[in-house]
Amino acid sequence: MQRDSVSVFHSGTRVHMPETPPCGGHIKRLFDLVFASCALIILSPLMIGVALMIRLSDGGPAFFGHTRVGYNGRSFTCLKFRSMKPDSDAELQRHLARNSAAMREWQTFRKVRDDPRVTPLGQLLRKTSIDELPQLFNIFAGDMSVVGPRPVPSVELQKYASSRRHYLRSRPGLTGLWQVSGRSDLSYERRVALDRYYVTHQSLGLDIWLILKTVAVVMGRKGSY
């Protein structure tokens, strides 16, 4: 029997990829469901409070959704608590146009330090990684996993070169090797290498270790901006 396939765009060309089970299979998916369900129940008071604080701070929406590439090339809306100003895109373009160093940093890391788009409340949410808690809904829905590669937009996936096939074998993660190995302090090439290593060495034991390691890293607030 022939497997189903999905279509993935790569450099303007539609590529048909075979439908294969995601990295970790049913055991990893069961773990994700249990983890996300428990976390949502425990953290719901905090998440409701954060959503209200964002709404009251500037009247804008509490959540922000951005399109990311998931397992087997499927696009999904990756959720976060909004940490930026409502007109963030225009603000970024103005900042990059008048700051060549920031432009080079953005082109290399897709992030900039002292980002003018980030609100004071957003800075706190980012430093504590609370802004990423809505991704628990993505995990519950099956778009993401607790542990996996860093979720990236299609334009960044092109930078993965031959490692693209490893990324597409796994659901993107709320956390992962990139999270516990320096986060924004890493070069892009190092992030890709860590994603590739994770997919080829994934196990339930490794996932649990990375979750525990993530707690320590978040408490230390290292590499986040």
Kindly state whether residues 91 and 125 are assigned to the same domain.
Answer: no
Which range of 54-58, 112-116, 178-182 scores highest in mean pLDDT? It is 54-58
Q: Is residue 4 in a domain?
A: no
Q: Do 79 and 131 lie in a common domain?
A: yes
Say how far apart CA 67 and CA 218 lie, in whole Å. Answer: 25
User: What is the Cα 30 distance to its own chain's centre?
Assistant: 20
> Residues 70, 32: one domain?
yes
Question: Is 1 within a domain?
Answer: no
Of 18-22, 80-84, 194-198, the least confident: 18-22
24 bridge partner residues? none
The Cα–Cα gap between 222 and 128 comes to 10
Distance CA 108, CA 68 (A): 19
Residue 186 in domain:
yes
- Residue 99's pLDDT is what? 74
Residue 152 lies in a domain: yes
Q: Are residues 91 and 158 in the same domain?
A: no
The more confident residue out of 4 and 147 is: 147
Residues 106 and 69 occupy one common structural domain:
no
Residue 92 is assigned to a structural domain of this protein: yes
pLDDT at 224: 56
CA dihedral 106, 196, 24, 64 (to 10 degrees): 0
Beta strand 63-69 with 75-81 is antiparallel
Q: Flag whether 179 is in a domain.
A: yes
Mean pLDDT of 146-171: 92
**3 lies in some domain:** no
pLDDT above 70 (res 212): yes
The pair of structure tokens assigned to 194 is 């860590």
- Asked if residue 105 and residue 189 are part of one domain, the reply reads no
156 and 197 both lie in a single domain: yes
- Domains in the chain, number: 2
Assess whether 127 and 95 both reside in one domain. Answer: no
pLDDT tens sequence across 161-172? 889 999 999 999
The domain of 169 spans 25-83+118-218
Whether 189 and 162 share a structural domain: yes
pTM over 0.85: no
Q: Is residue 37 part of a domain?
A: yes
Judge if 203 and 125 occupy the same domain: yes
The tens digit of pLDDT for each residue in 92-110 reads: 777 776 777 767 776 666 6
Q: Is the domain of 97 the same as that of 192? A: no
pLDDT of residue 13: 43
Please tell me whether residues 67 and 172 are part of one structural domain: yes
